[in-house]
Amino acid sequence: MAAQRDNEDGVSTTDAPTHTAMTRRDALKLAAAVLLPQGALRQARVKKIIIAGAGIAGLSCAWELVRRGHDVTVVEAAARTGGHVFTFRDDLDDGLYADGGAEHFTQPGYDRYREYVREFSLPHVYYPRREHIVRWIGGRSYTPEMLTDRKVLGTLGLNSREIEYLTKHAFPELASLYFAAYVDSFADEYRPFDAGLNALDKISATDLFKKDGASAAALTFIGGNGSALQAVWHAAILKRRGVPLFPPKVYRLLGGNQKLTDAFAERLGDRIHLRCPVSAIEHGDTGVRVTCRDGTQSTRLEGDYLVCAMSARMLRLLPVTPAWPDAKTYAIANVPYYHDTRVIFQTRSRFWERDGMSPNMEFGESPLYHVWRTCEDVQTSRGMLVGTASGAGTADRALATFRKFYPGRSEDIEKAHVVVWALDPWASACERTSYPPGELAKFWPILIEPHGRIHFAGAYADNLNWGMEAATRSANRVAEAIHEA
């Protein structure tokens, strides 16, 4: 259970849940499950596969391998499955819930993910979290309508070309104005170095936009220190998939996005072993050996293949024998991640409706970067707001930021909780961020390539860092490669 406390305003706050360790009985059962055949007969092409990590990547990879007829064991360090797909329910009233990690999917864009949603008949709903977003810029609030008005845009320091573009496009699409000259150069979304734009990897996105005439004001909105080639490639992938840079229409699973990872876990059953952290990896020409440790106890598991479905941040901590080649070592050791906190406000009423305000707001401050409404499907007079804090945020700081910026007369928050991913012992890293200029070739495609009998799946192991879609895409690629080997 999560630890609860009251802050000075009398609002209940909750910290992130903790995890427990695997028992000796679990370890013995796990060793038997991996080392012994399941059933009297085994086809010649059946492969024994160990999957390290039971987030959405590991679960979907396991499911794809199982239905291809392979012998799969999933080991997970935490006390639950799902990884960053986590639906929070503790201490919420009236059946309210909130997605504490991965919180939406697009249509189109999340193509492989939505195939599972259909396969398992999981109901989903349109999610109005990107409607009528009120944005704070320079200490003032702006509605979407204001940010298409020439006069208003003129006060922000944008140039005439940018102003003209934004009168016809949503404000978060400003970068598309400068990406347009490059995105059609990519014929294959998995081959960024074939586009003839490799020189862009030597400069940052800010440098590229500045070179192409972006105003100083625009650079504060769309600039970045990462590789310009990676930024253009990202935009090109989205265009090829028919998705804008900032998709305005998003969806979520009814009852929480954890419904999908729970569906995988239910079907995989006792192939999944929780509280089983991997402590060492050995590999050779004919197979792999994985050591799982609980305190002084350890269990060795042997298989034909290993799928590393944990984050690169966790993978880089494990001893591997023989060691990775230098290029692989560098890539795994330097994947850049961000760490966020999900902020959850339960309200006594939907006070924003009484105030005639949009509850979808973008503050741009680390204690509460943005906030939006959710859980409209639950029949209650209460309301739910969720948001994001950068790094290891707290409920108190998020509340203070909301109260600082909320422009309405009412404020009716009765409970505040935070899911602090940065403090999670097994799943601290959120999505991958941009690589520095000059570094893209050190990561792509090295990160996603198998090394001998070890394969890699996860949000970091695909061409686009789109959480659940990247995880399921990489998982399917790995499952097919192992099956065909």
pLDDT at 11 over 60: no
List % helix, strand, coil for the chain (3-state, nearest 5).
35, 25, 40
pLDDT at 2 over 90: no
Q: Name the pLDDT band for 410 (thresholds 50, 70, 90).
A: confident
Three-state DSSP class for 50? strand
Q: Name the pLDDT band for 295 (thresholds 50, 70, 90).
A: low
pLDDT at residue 39, as a whole number: 41
| Nearest alpha carbon to residue 47 among 266, 270, 282, 286 | 286
- Read off the pLDDT of each residue in 428-454 and give the average, rounded to a whole number: 96
The mean pLDDT of the chain is: 92
- Read off the pLDDT of each residue in 172-178 and give the average, rounded to a whole number: 98
Question: Is residue 58 a contact partner of residue 472, using CB atoms and an 8 Å limit?
Answer: no
| Nearest alpha carbon to residue 160 among 150, 171, 147 | 150
pLDDT tens-place string over residues 60-92: 999 999 999 999 999 999 999 999 999 999 999
| Residue 441, CA distances (Å) to 200, 435, 449 in order | 12, 10, 13
| Structural domains of the chain ordered from first start | 4-16+86-130+338-423 (3.90.660), 24-83+256-336+432-484 (3.50.50.60), 144-240 (no CATH)
pLDDT at residue 93, as a whole number: 98
pLDDT at residue 26, as a whole number: 52
pLDDT tens-place string over residues 87-138: 999 999 999 999 999 999 999 999 999 999 999 999 999 999 999 999 999 9
pLDDT at residue 73, as a whole number: 98
Label residues 209-230 b or e (16+ Cβ within 10 Å = b): bbeeebbebbeebbbbebbbbb
| pTM, two decimal places | 0.91
Select the more confidently predicted residue: 422 or 29. 422
pLDDT tens-place string over residues 185-235: 999 999 999 999 999 999 999 999 999 999 999 999 999 999 999 999 999
Question: Is residue 372 a contact partner of residue 387, using CB atoms and an 8 Å limit?
Answer: yes
pLDDT at residue 36, as a whole number: 42
pLDDT at residue 409, as a whole number: 85
Q: Name the pLDDT band for 431 (thresholds 50, 70, 90).
A: very high
pLDDT at residue 408, as a whole number: 87
Could you give the CA distance from residue 481 to residue 274 in angstroms, rounded to a whole number? 26
pLDDT at 19 over 70: no
Q: Determine what percent of the chain is predicted with pLDDT higher than 90.
A: 88
pLDDT tens-place string over residues 309-360: 999 999 999 999 999 999 999 999 999 999 999 999 999 999 999 999 999 9
